[in-house]
Structure 1
Amino acid sequence: MKPTLLILAAGMASRYGSMKQVDGFGPNGETIIDYSIYDAIKAGFGKVTFIIREEFVDSFKAIFEPKLAGRVETDYVFQSYDLKQFGIDKEIERAKPWGTAHAVLAARNQVNEPFCVINADDYYGYDAFEKMAKFLTTEVKDDLYSLIGYQIDRTLSDYGSVSRGVCKVDDNGNMVEINERTEVYFKEDGSVAYKDATGEYALPNDTRVSMNFWGFTPAIFKQSEQMFVDFVAANENNPKAEFFIPLAADKLIKDGTAAFKVIPTGSKWFGVTYKEDKPIVQKSISELVANGVYPEKLWD
């Protein structure tokens, strides 16, 4: 059974200021998602499932169906504010959905095979898809998941701080813990640091971080559902609290429910957090096209 690519595309793109998931970056208006899907098909994925807000479904279908028809199966999953589906009899006012692990739960009735999760607005590189496809077809189990580990200094923006899931890895290559650092940045001397409520801390430039590229079996849905229910109960008065995948992963590791293999990649990650990142991403893609990594017209 071929694995599925699950794309997190329900975010509101608040920092970027527009719907960056469908913004054009390639020479013929290709989106970042186009390059991820192209790499995933080449690596052997059999289906692409978009997690989106329901009101965007027509836009997504108009953009992606014509070019993907006949190449890969597509499906759409809707992330919503409805908590009744989780047995929570409350309506909680929020400006944005409940986060990435909640988005993955939205796919629980539609994904029945091993799958990976990626962000819509991040470029991951073919090496990462090839390694993940291999893991999902030969190694993944209900108690062994994975994430692609990027080198932190190959993932930062020059235009402001970013959030990164910082991984601690043991001698077997498995994650011991993951800490979501919400303010990571380059210092003037090129070193990397993060800030939290207690101060500023240095991070080695070769620290492995999660760029939200995870590999799972469908067992993750049952494993994380009660966690989400508990998270809502603990955060019903905190409208900005988000149930991130790293939170769920950390709990699974600490409970002994599942191990997470950190699969290292040398790929340079790039993405669009800020408007100023756009020309850099366009230049990076132009270079990949010029070097023959991608055809100029991706879907011809």
Structure 2
Amino acid sequence: MKPSLLVLAAGMGSRYGGDKQLDKVGPEGQTIIDYSIFDAARSGFGKILFVIRRDIEEQFKSSFMKPLEGKVDIDYVFQDLDDLPKDYTPSPERVKPWGTSHAILVAREKIREPFGVINSDDYYGVDSFRVLHDFLVNDKDDNNYCIIGYKMGNTLSDHGHVNRGVCEVDKNGNLVHIVETRMIEKRPDGIYAPGERGREIEFTGNEIVSMNLFGFKPSCFKYLEEEFINFIERSAGDPRAELDIPTSLDVYVKKGEINIEVLMTEERWFGVTYREDRPFVVSSLQEKVDKGIYPEKLW
């Protein structure tokens, strides 16, 4: 069975404004996710499963379901606030999605095979999907997962701060520790993020980071649900609290219950974190078309 690809597309897009996953940035009006689907399909992935909000369902159908009908196997699930483990209900103040760990959990009834996870608004590069596919096809350990690792310097925006999962990796290329690091910013004098007690953390740009490009086996749902229940109990009463994937994984890496291989890529990320990023995304995709990496018309 071919591995599937889970596309996380339920984020609010608060920094960018609007539904950035539907922004047309390619030469023929393609979105970033169109290129990711194209790369996934030619790398050997089968089903493409989207996680979306109910309020963008019709727009999603017209933008993706209809154009891709007959070309790829595509489906979707909703990330609903009340899709919670038994005996739990959301607070009335909760309006934000529960985070990326929950976004994976809502797909648990539709995935029975190894699968990749991506963000809908990030460009990952052709090589990244090939590396991910090969891992999912060839690795047979149910509790061995992977992260496609990027150099931090290849993942920054020129127009504001970003959040990245900063990875500590052992000599064998396995994840030791991952920290979701927020507000990483590129400045003329270096790369910085807020630290403890008002001090800043300085980075070299060579640090390994996660861009939410993961390879999982179905066994992950058990761990993610267990940690999500712990999260709900810890954060009760906070209507804005979210549980991200790196935080969930780090718990079980430390316990030794799962292993995560960090598979490096030299690809350069780009995305529409901010509206000011858009011209660079448009020109970068056009350049890749000009170089023959993509056809002008994908399908």
TM beyond 0.5: yes
Segment of structure 1 superposing worse, 87-96 or 203-212: 87-96
Aligned to 2:112, the other structure's residue is in SS state: coil
Aligned to 2:178, the other structure's residue is in SS state: strand
Query: 1:22 touches 1:31 (CA, 8 Å); kept in 2?
Result: yes
Name the residue aligned to 2:242. 242
Aligned to 2:71, the other structure's residue is in SS state: coil
Task: Give how far 1:90 is off.
Answer: 2.9
Give the letter for the 2:47 counterpart.
Answer: K
Aligned to 1:86, the other structure's residue is in SS state: coil
Task: Give how far 1:141 is off.
Answer: 2.5
1:103-155 Cα deviation digits (max 9, x unpaired): 00000001111001000000000100000000000015321000100010010
Q: C-alpha distance in 1, partners of 2:222/2:105?
A: 9
Q: C-alpha distance in 2, partners of 1:141/1:203?
A: 34
Name the residue aligned to 2:255. 255
Name the residue aligned to 2:99. 99
Query: 1:181 touches 1:196 (CA, 8 Å); kept in 2?
Result: no
Question: 2:151 matched to 1:130?
Answer: no
Name the residue aligned to 2:229. 229
Give the letter for the 1:170 counterpart.
Answer: D
Over aligned residue pairs, what C-alpha RMSD do you find?
1.1
- Count of residue pairs the alignment pairs up: 297
The aligned runs of 1:178-197 (5 Å cut-off) are 178-189=178-189, 191-197=190-196
The aligned runs of 1:1-300 (5 Å cut-off) are 1-83=1-83, 85-92=84-91, 93-189=93-189, 191-198=190-197, 199-299=199-299
TM-score (norm 2): 0.97
Query: 2:143 touches 2:220 (CA, 8 Å); kept in 1?
Result: no
Q: C-alpha distance in 2, partners of 1:100/1:140?
A: 25
Q: C-alpha distance in 1, partners of 2:287/2:89?
A: 50
List gaps (5 residues or longer) in structure 1: none
Give the letter for the 2:159 counterpart.
Answer: Y
Give the letter for the 2:7 counterpart.
Answer: I
Give the letter for the 2:118 counterpart.
Answer: I
Query: 2:122 touches 2:272 (CA, 8 Å); kept in 1?
Result: yes
TM-score (norm 1): 0.96
1:157-211 Cα deviation digits (max 9, x unpaired): 011111010000000000100011111011213x322113432011221111000
Q: C-alpha distance in 1, partners of 2:107/2:249?
A: 17
Q: Between the two proteins, what is the percent identity of the paired residues?
A: 48
Task: Give how far 1:262 is off.
Answer: 0.4
Task: Give how far 1:50 is off.
Answer: 0.3
Q: C-alpha distance in 2, partners of 1:49/1:200?
A: 39
Q: C-alpha distance in 2, partners of 1:76/1:141?
A: 27
List gaps (5 residues or longer) in structure 2: none
